[in-house]
Chains A and B, each alone.
Chain A
Amino acid sequence: MLKALQELYRYRELTAHLVFLTLKTRYRGSFLGFFWTLLNPLLLMLVLWGVFSRVARVQEEFYALFLLSGLIVWMFFSQSVDAGQNSIVKQYSLIQKIYVPKIVFPVAIVTSNFVNLVFSLIAYILIALVASYPIMPSIILLPMAFAMLYLFTVGSALLMSTLNVFFRDFTHLTATMLRALFYLTPIIYPVSLFGEKAAFLLKFNPAYYPVTVIRDLLYYGTLSTLSTWTIGFGLAVAVFVLGSAVFVKNEDNFIFYA
């Protein structure tokens, strides 16, 4: 794994190029271009707000902002995993010709989505300002929470991109798995909506922690409990180590599964 990190560092300029390339080509030909990065979470927020504030009657005063603070985290994670899982398969024409450390591809995908996350965060802050909802000083701790989220997401993307090389089925399965995980994570509802037993069970979902920590800092203006931070970072590191170990162990054989 150390070797993977060294190679990642040595090829950091390639990673930067790939991040730029992903950002540049994502909205190619579209009229609004990069604005979609800001618009997409807002539109999704509007749809979910329309549905859940009326139908499900979630008791949350600023439900729209509550939703947005969770959605930007979720969209970063799900889009990273969704694009990351195909990051190796899509690069076969290159890796069959020239040596490149393969880890750069999933890492570049996640990082380009991370850039989008930062822009979504700006969108959140602007909307909060317009709605005269206070931005709490707790947001200075966001970089730490983002680090947890980034590690967790890179680990997941490495794992999924490896599995997808050997079993292309995962491409089809992932969309459904992500949808299930979306509902199992407190994004559209607060944990308090259900009883204590449900709140306990939700904590078995590793995605619970980054979503909770970031929402607490951003929307509630509070620090999550120390145990939430600790378990969150523990899980993020564990997923990252697992993902990179699986990736590194198998990367030499990727080439044979084109």
Chain B
Amino acid sequence: MLKVNEHSGEEHIIEASNLGICYRQYREKTVTLKDFVVNLFSGSKFKEFWALRNLDLNVRRGEHLGLIGANGCGKSTLLKAIASVLPAREGNISVHGMVTPLIELGAGFNAELTGRENIFLNGAIMGLSRQNMQERFDRIVDFAELEEHIDIPIRNYSSGMRTRLGFSVAADIEPEILLLDEIFAVGDESFKLKCQVRMQEIFDKGVTVIMVSHSLPLIAEYCERVIFMDKGQIVADGPTDEVIKRYKEHVSMQKKQAS
């Protein structure tokens, strides 16, 4: 969890202006001293790829925003920029609140540690104190339904148990901004239902949510504002029905062109 500039204006919780994020794509993945020397003489060996460029975005506190678009349009890059994982090459982005990314469940879990130790490790990764996690601990274990297995190393967990634990930790922490990348509900049917109920609670509490999904019904159900992205730019930004309609038109037009 990240705290930036708490005292700034209440109006917009996320402000990005002229945001540009650029990856270097190496033709060969290894980075070596030899490459560096060669590049000095023969020009660069990597190609620059602007995943986002000239992007302006304001998100109000409590808004539920959906991001849609084809693969590689920059949705996940935008989430990573909001989470401060990726730095801006151009322009700037400011986030006035705590961010919890639910991008990949159990990121930062260590297989050698027990479930209990991993809960505290995960809390520390998000910048939460041990005491704070202590208060949440029982609730997390209870939600994950892992009371019996909490003191064994998670290398002995099934993948379902791991994702359940990951979800429970992330969902218990109430951030000001929640980032969701295709993750909404995990586990078997009964656990999925619990996840959905918990998510609904978080949504209703006025948390700002930014979600990426290829499932338009899911976006339509939870978001009141949608942004349609293409090639690192915002194509449309507005009320859910209008933007989804626009996106569907775009997709069917592309299909026609292709055939």
Contacts and interface: CB of A to CB of B under 8 A. Distances in A.
A17 B119 CA distance: 11
A28 interface: yes
Interface residues of B, number: 32
A59 B33 CA distance: 44
Nearest to B30: A168
A155 B15 CA distance: 36
A17 B123 CA distance: 10
Interface in B138-156: none
A252 B87 contact: yes
A167 B23 contact: no
A169 B110 CA distance: 28
Given A17-B121, A17-B124, A99 B84 contact: yes
Given A10-B127, A100-B125, A253-B87, A168 B32 contact: yes
Interface in A102-137: none
Decide if the interface of chain A is mainly helix, strand, loop or mixed: helix
Contact of B83 (A10, A24, A98, A166): A98
B104 A97 contact: yes
Interface string B31-59: 11110100000000000000000000000
A96 interface: yes
Given A17-B124, A98-B125, A255 B85 contact: yes
Place the interface of chain A in its size category.
Answer: 20 to 34
Contacts of A225: none
A200 interface: no
Nearest to B87: A252
B87 A11 contact: no
B132 to A, nearest CB: 10
B107 A167 contact: no
A25 B114 CA distance: 12
Pick from B107, B121, B124 the residue with the most CB of A within 10 Å: B124
Contact of A14 (B2, B86, B107, B127): B127
B124 A256 contact: no
B23 A97 contact: no
B110 to A, nearest CB: 6
B72 interface: no
B110 A255 contact: no
Decide if the interface of chain B is mainly helix, strand, loop or mixed: loop
Given A93-B107, A257-B31, A99 B85 contact: yes
Given A21-B113, A93-B107, A255-B85, A98 B31 contact: no
A98 B110 contact: no
A13 interface: yes
A94 interface: yes
Contacts of A24: 112-113
A246 interface: no
Contacts of A253: 87
Nearest to A254: B87
A11 B107 contact: no
Contact of B85 (A14, A98, A168): A98
Contacts of B24: 256
Nearest to B107: A97
B125 A167 contact: no
12 contacts: A13-B130, A21-B112, A21-B121, A93-B107, A95-B85, A97-B107, A98-B108, A99-B84, A169-B32, A169-B34, A255-B86, A257-B31
Given A94-B107, A97-B85, 6 more contacts: A17-B121, A93-B107, A94-B108, A99-B2, A166-B31, A255-B86
